[in-house]
Amino acid sequence: MSTGDDAAPIEYPDRAGYPDGTGFLDEGNAALVDEVTADALRAVDRPSADAESEIEVHRLDDRGVYAATIDGLEVANLRYDEEDGRVVVLTTTVVPEFRGRGIATDLIADALDDIRERGRTVTVLCPVVAAFMRGNPQYADLIDSQQPGR
C-alpha cells in the first residue's frame, strides 16, 4: 500500500477506534499495514530488531488487549472484544519509536496463535490485522465464517 498523497485513505468502521476520528486509517496505521505486509515475505516468528531484549506478548483480559512489551515497557497492543465465542479484533497500535522492528507482526502472530489455542474464531475490523492475515494464509481458518469483518 502506498502512503503517498495519491493513495486513497482506507475506510474502517468507527468501532475500530482509530484516533483520527474521521473514519479513515491514519498515517501511523498505514505504516503498520505496510510493515506487516512486508513481513509476510519473511518468517513470522523472528527475534525483534532490539538485540538486547525480546518481545513478550501477554493477553490482558481485563483491558481487552494483547500487549507487546520489551523489558516491561508496553510498546504495542492489539485491542479486542469477545462476542458470542469469537474475538473481534479492533485495532493494532505500536509506539512510533518502536515501529519498523517487526513488533506488530510478532504481536499479531502471537495473538492469533493464542486465539487458535483457545478454540475461538476472529472477526477482523483492524486493517493492520487484515493485511497480516492476507499475507499469512496459515491463519485463514480463524476467520469467522458468519462475521468475517474486513
The count of structural domains within the chain is 1
- 51: its cell numbers: 538485540
- With cut-offs at 50, 70 and 90, classify the pLDDT of residue 30: low
Residue 63 to residue 131: CA distance in whole angstroms: 24
Residue 18 to residue 46: CA distance in whole angstroms: 28
CATH assignment of the domain containing 102: 3.40.630.30
pLDDT digits (tens, 9 = 90+) for 57-108: 999 999 999 999 999 999 999 999 999 999 999 999 999 999 888 999 999 9
Is position 6 within any domain? no
Q: Which residues of 72-103 are buried (b: 16+ CB within 10 A; e: fewer)?
A: eeebbbbbbeeeeebbbbbbbbbeeebbebbb
Is position 56 within any domain? yes
Is position 147 within any domain? no
Is position 126 within any domain? yes
Radius of gyration of the chain measured on its C-alpha atoms = 14
Domain enclosing residue 27, as ranges? 14-142
- With cut-offs at 50, 70 and 90, classify the pLDDT of residue 26: low
Is position 54 within any domain? yes
